[in-house]
């Protein structure tokens, strides 16, 4: 997709602060962070929105979801549960889809937000 900014990041045609890469997925820091930790996790293959994802792409969608807590933990946002069963820490995941869903970049991406709250523009 020649005009897709995230495809250009995948192709290393424009720079990004990359925090993870493998054959299928790429993760980098959001250029306008809305939280102390704000990462974007994307499939390397161009998928415009979640509504355009096909059944053959469930593996890469699963990889994105499984990667989110690992990268959150690497950035200090793990969820831990103490001996009393009380949870601590945490992060928020978000996929905006389509204009009514607030999507601005039409290459599927999973936001991971974390760090001390409150965060600009994010509910709860
Ligand atoms: P969304 O509204 O879900 O489509 O979010 C798009 C996100 O991409 C926004 O949070 C932008 O700040 C972020 N973004 C746009 N361009 C870049 C870029 N070149 N590098 C990193 N993040 C970007
Ligand atoms: Zn793309």
First to last CA, the chain: 35
Position 88 in a domain: yes
65: CB partners within 8 A, 6+ apart: 93, 110
Closest ligand to Cα 45 = 2
pLDDT tens per residue, the chain (124 residues)?
779 999 999 999 999 999 999 999 999 999 999 999 999 999 999 999 999 999 999 999 999 999 999 999 999 999 999 999 999 999 999 999 999 999 999 999 999 999 988 887 776 6
Q: Domains in the chain: how many in total? A: 1
Does the annotation count 38 as an active-site position? no
CATH at 71? 3.30.428.10
Residue 15: name the closest of 24, 69, 43, 26 by CA: 26
Which atom of ligand 1 lies at the shortest distance from residue 38's CA?
10
Instruction: Say how many residues make up the chain.
Output: 124
The parent domain of residue 74 ranges over 5-114
pTM for this model (two decimals): 0.96
| H-helix segments, 24-81 | 58-74
Position 28 in a domain: yes
Position 123 in a domain: no
Position 81 in a domain: yes
């Amino acid at each position: 997709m020649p005009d897709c900014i995230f495809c250009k990041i995948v192709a290393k045609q424009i720079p990004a602060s990359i925090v993870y890469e493998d054959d299928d997925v790429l993760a980098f820091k959001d250029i306008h962070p809305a939280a102390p930790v704000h990462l974007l996790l994307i499939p390397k293959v161009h998928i415009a929105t979640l509504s355009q994802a096909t059944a053959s792409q469930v593996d890469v969608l699963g990889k994105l979801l499984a990667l989110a807590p690992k990268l959150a933990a690497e950035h200090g946002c793990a969820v831990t549960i103490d001996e009393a069963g009380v949870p601590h820490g945490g992060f928020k995941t978000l996929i905006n889809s389509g204009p009514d869903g607030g999507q601005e970049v039409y290459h599927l991406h999973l936001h991971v937000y974390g760090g001390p709250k409150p965060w600009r523009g994010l509910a709860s």
